[in-house]
Amino acid sequence: MRGEDGGNPEVYPADYEKEAPALPPPILQVGLGVWIVALILSLNFQAAGSLDRVHSTFGDTLAKISVSKTEEIPGGGQVVSSISNLRYDDLVKLLQGEHIEQAFIFQELWMQRIIVDGLTYSVQTAAETTAHYGEAMDLELVEGHFFTQADEEQKNRVVLISNVVAGQLFPGQSALGKIINLGDFGEGPMEFEIIGVYKPHSPLLEFFISEAHLLFPLGTTRVWVSRDFFEPSYQYIYIKSQPGRLYEAVEEARVLLADRSVEDMEVNGEYVKDSNRFLSEQLRTVSLFLGAFAFIAVLVSAIGILSIMLVSVVERTREIGLRQALGASKRSIVAQILNESLVFSLAGSILGLLAAYFTSPTLLSAILVEVFYSRLADVGGLHPQAALLAAVVAVAMGQLFGLYPAWQAAKLPPVEALREG
């Protein structure tokens, strides 16, 4: 006998039944779903938690003061932009405010080249600042001390470096007392002594104030600028208020700098939450997208349990019929199937959480760097709430999708079940 295509016939034994493709083990399916959900929830919990901590620490105490200018644009309408119109004298005025505890200037220096032991390095984020910066930003010193008002006034060539830079330049040794060189600007090498190592402020403040890995006293890196001929101007002066008195401090700043509000210019205050609005919206969008992905992962896992349990009921029809014939109630049949579904869910949850525990630090950091440009890359691994919620959802979905197979098993008539078996 020849096959339909004219080739050799396929010959099978009389009792041969072609096997259906094997389904993935339910424990692996559930484990994969729990792993994905745990990672996604950890990402969401930790990113939101980091943002909340920044807002709770600085949200009601920190603001930046600027002078904005309103300009008419062609075709109607107006545009408001900040201008570099603030001076060091304005900082002195703000420090006299009743509700202003600290005030500082923070002037960014992009792509600062430094020379250490004859080797040249580039540091992308550096800044000149004033003595109150460290205290206002709650900087944590690893070693050494912050520069003082005297260092600022005398233009002492001292510098603080971040622990990241310290680890790269001086691995395994203290950075205190070491010298970094900014090069020769006509007055000889600009050598700065390292007096402190600090941990940078949270990168989540990047939209409000840039992260810096080198901190110099204000004016010390710009030897070609002389106050006798040119008074430097700044776009922002940052203020820190007493807790809960930030709005009063901003209003006080407007009064103290009233001479800057002339014609089309106005003194304004900008807050941390306003600056981080884009990041909050970005986090919300990513959370919704990842939440949908997590739901699909759990749904696929639950459908896997449903399929496996249905197959199990069909294969054990005779066993179920025999149990019913011996007096087993429908409730006990349902409980048996649900218990098996529970075992699959719990075993899969344990497997998935173990995988998430060992893979989450690396994977979460990679995702955070890609999505948030490293601003959240300092979060940890598996979040406890994420682990608990992922396991609970997996077990609940397993029980829910195990109800139909359990009901199918319980409604089998004993006689027909024994005959089919």
Q: What percent of the chain has pLDDT over 90?
A: 14
Instruction: Supply 169's token pair.
Output: 């330049």
- Does residue 50 register a pLDDT over 70? yes
* Residue predicted with more confidence, 105 or 314: 105
Please report which helix (H) or strand (E) contains residue 267, including its range: strand 265-271
Q: Write the single-letter amino acid at 312.
A: S
Least Cα distance to 359 among 78, 43, 6 occurs for 43
pLDDT band at 198; cut points 50, 70, 90 = very high
Minimum mean pLDDT among 47-51, 133-137, 151-155, 241-245: which range? 47-51
The stretch 359-367 carries a mean pLDDT of 72
The stretch 297-320 carries a mean pLDDT of 75
**Predicted confidence (pLDDT) per residue in 145-174, tens digit:** 999 989 888 889 999 999 989 998 999 899
pLDDT given for residue 365 in this prediction: 66
DSSP state of 21: P
Q: What percent of the chain has pLDDT over 70?
A: 76
pLDDT given for residue 159 in this prediction: 93
Q: How many angstroms separate the Cα of 155 from the Cα of each of 158, 223, 346?
A: 9, 10, 65
Instruction: Supply 123's token pair.
Output: 């540091």
Instruction: Supply 218's token pair.
Output: 């204000």
**Predicted confidence (pLDDT) per residue in 12-24, tens digit:** 344 434 444 444 5
The stretch 102-116 carries a mean pLDDT of 83
The stretch 128-147 carries a mean pLDDT of 91
State the CB neighbour count (10 A cutoff) for residue 149: 11
pLDDT given for residue 94 in this prediction: 92
- Does residue 7 register a pLDDT over 50? no
pLDDT given for residue 77 in this prediction: 58
Least Cα distance to 352 among 35, 25, 43, 41 occurs for 35
DSSP state of 86: B
Please provide the size of the chain in residues.
421
pLDDT given for residue 196 in this prediction: 95
Rounded Cα distance, 333 and 345, in Å: 19
